[in-house]
Amino acid sequence: MSNESVSSVTHIPVMVAEAMEALKVHPGGCYVDCTLGAGGHARAILERIMPDGRLLGIDADPEAVEVARRVFAEYGDSIVLAQGNFGEVSRICEEQGFRDNDGMLFDLGLSSIQLDVAERGFSFQREAPLDMRFDTTTGPTAADIVNSYSEQEIARILWEYGEERYSRQIAHRIVQQRPILSTLRLARLVQQVLGSRRGRIHPATRTFMALRIAVNRELDNLKLGLNQTIGLLRTGGRLVVISYHSLEDRIVKQFMRAEAVDHAFSLITRKVIRPTSLECSSNPRSRSARLRVAERLA
């Protein structure tokens, strides 16, 4: 992806004030941003931990890490950057010397770098190769799934990860029309199947979400990452997770509640925190956000 494409991305981080309060960010603290993205939350943390605090920023997307190296150069050794999936957060923290942290943040879903740059293949509104990988150096693409998986397996992915009611009809049409190599071709195909039945959201929304989750193994990695936070937070350390759809939020809620029963965490939020109406109007991507908080016990 070109530097010009990256520089044109407009990034508005979601629920910054709420996330900073939930993390209890303080000067001299040690924090891990497990989903660096375009760096909005990372900057807010850095501004609050100076001059002696430390932040580890992790992202599966090599482009996000490269952008952060330029954007945060002024902070010097206060920020450490690492490319990798938060499903391996324990290994990454161990390698970078972040073993006993005051807070860990997961801001799930897509970053602006991924969604706003057409050639990444995440958007159904612009022509691009059907890719959808967070880490573009490895793993199968969405095109690989669409063009090589069985009709039954594609239907399962659309139903399980996208909660798509018409998963079987869409999968059948995909197999009939293969090969499908571009975003717009897939979006038009789904639109032909569903017509105008989707209401206000684009008919391809759930299909694209499901494929993205499958390509990046997002739900599996989320479960792995959450489990590893137990050994990475000091007593009183905060775990803060912002999710954007029910599948993610269900995993987060179940994890926090189970660990509260086992006395690893205490629940700071028993109900989700939602963005304000003002934020929803100024940043439409925040509308589906749900924030949950837990605190590490001794």
Residue ranges and CATH numbers for the domains of the chain are: 3-113+218-296 (3.40.50.150), 122-216 (1.10.150.170)
Residue 267: what pLDDT? 97
pLDDT of residue 197: 63
Question: CA separation (Å) from 66 to 3, 31, 231?
Answer: 10, 20, 28
HEC string of 16-35 equals: HHHHHHHHCCCCCCEEEECC
CA 40/CA 38 separation, integer angstroms:
6
pLDDT tens by residue, the chain, 298 residues: 444 444 444 568 999 999 999 999 999 999 999 999 989 999 999 999 999 999 999 999 999 999 999 999 999 999 999 999 999 999 999 999 999 999 999 999 777 666 666 678 888 888 999 999 999 888 899 999 999 999 999 999 999 999 999 999 999 999 999 999 999 999 999 999 998 665 678 899 999 999 999 999 999 999 999 999 999 999 999 999 999 999 999 999 999 999 999 999 999 999 999 999 999 999 988 999 999 999 999 8
Provide long-range contacts, Cβ within 8 A and 24+ apart, for 136-139: 136/61, 136/62, 136/63, 137/62, 139/215, 139/216
pTM of this structure? 0.92
The DSSP result for the chain, as a single string, is: --HHHHHT-----SSHHHHHHHHT--TT-EEEES--TTSHHHHHHHHHHTTT-EEEEEES-HHHHHHHHHHTGGGGGGEEEEES-GGGHHHHHHHHT--SEEEEEEE-S--HHHHHSGGGS--SSS--BS---SSTTSS--HHHHHHHS-HHHHHHHHHHHH--TTHHHHHHHHHHH----BHHHHHHHHHHHHTTTTTTS-TTHHHHHHHHHHHHTHHHHHHHHHHHHTTTEEEEEEEEEEE-SHHHHHHHHHHHHHHHHTTSEEES-SS-B---HHHHHH-GGGTT-EEEEEEE--
pLDDT number for residue 7: 43
Query: What does the pLDDT read at residue 12?
Result: 82
C-alpha–C-alpha distance, residues 129 and 131, integer Å: 6
With vertex at residue 197, the alpha carbon angle to CA 193 and CA 198, rounded to the nearest 5 degrees, is 100
Q: Which residues contact 269 (CB under 8 A, 6 or more apart)?
A: 22, 291, 292, 293, 294
